[in-house]
């Protein structure tokens, strides 16, 4: 079931954190999956080199579809890949995996806080497509306050925006895809978010129905 697959990922991350990873015969796994595959989940994660999904969940060959894009945002290609996993391959779980100290989120917050032109500042002509997906996770008031925060509070705020971004991606997947929405409504698939801590190696499962915790800026303004 979707819940069982989520628990498999939780257990795998616990093994990863404690160093008790399963001993795998990768050659045998290659042979076993040569004629076909039956992945348990589709994981949409960031391209960050510190967050390889198969490793942080202690998975083997053929266990999951791994979709990676900067900022773990939803676009036509990433959504199409997830749709294939749900509609054709029959995965039970879609996991959006963000992470702390996210470079894409950090760059976005800094550049927009300085009113910088994304392409001019980075030389990347397509980066705005990623920025546009992260933009709804922060408002102009927060941009103005960001520059006044200390380094620790800035890091905490970036992590909070990363959480918001994960939750938004979870909602957008269901909103934008009829085939995924139908699978969710029928109980065949679970779409959830998670945040990986680059310092501890741990995974925090995010409940999309849960109220987003307040950022340092919001605490100050309340």
- Please say whether the beta carbons of 221 and 214 come within 8 A: no
Given a cut of 90, is residue 142 above it in pLDDT?
no
Calculate the CA 216 to chain-centre distance: 22
Given a cut of 60, is residue 216 above it in pLDDT?
no
Q: What pLDDT is stored for residue 9 in this prediction?
A: 97
Give the global pTM: 0.88
More confidently predicted of 75 and 107: 75
H-helix or E-strand spanning residue 204: strand 203-206
Rounded mean pLDDT, 148-155: 82
Question: In the sheet that 190-196 helps form, which strands lie side by side, from edge to edge?
Answer: 64-68, 41-45, 93-99, 190-196, 203-206
Cα distances (angstroms) measured from residue 46 to each of 6, 22, 94, 111, 183: 19, 24, 14, 19, 24
Q: What pLDDT is stored for residue 110 in this prediction?
A: 78
Rounded mean pLDDT, 171-175: 96
């Amino acid at each position: 079931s979707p819940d069982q697959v989520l628990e498999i990922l939780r257990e795998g991350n616990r093994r990863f954190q404690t160093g008790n990873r399963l001993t795998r015969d990768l050659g045998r796994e290659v042979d076993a999956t040569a004629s076909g595959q039956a992945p348990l989940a589709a994981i949409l994660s960031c391209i960050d080199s510190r967050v390889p999904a198969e490793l942080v969940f202690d998975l083997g060959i053929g266990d999951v579809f791994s979709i990676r894009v900067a900022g773990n945002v939803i676009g036509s290609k990433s959504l199409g890949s997830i749709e294939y996993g749900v509609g054709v391959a029959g995965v039970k779980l879609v996991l959006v995996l963000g992470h702390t100290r996210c470079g894409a989120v950090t760059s976005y917050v800094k550049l927009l806080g300085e009113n910088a032109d994304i392409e001019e500042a980075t030389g990347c002509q397509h980066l705005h497509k990623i920025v546009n997906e992260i933009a709804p996770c922060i408002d102009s008031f927060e941009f103005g306050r960001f520059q006044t925060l200390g380094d620790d509070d800035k890091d905490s705020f970036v992590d909070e925006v990363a959480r918001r971004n994960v939750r938004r991606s979870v909602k957008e997947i269901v909103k934008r895809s009829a085939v995924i929405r139908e699978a969710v409504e029928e109980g065949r698939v679970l779409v959830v978010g998670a945040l990986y801590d680059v310092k501890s190696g741990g995974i925090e499962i995010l409940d999309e129905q849960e109220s987003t915790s307040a950022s340092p800026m919001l605490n100050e303004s309340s």
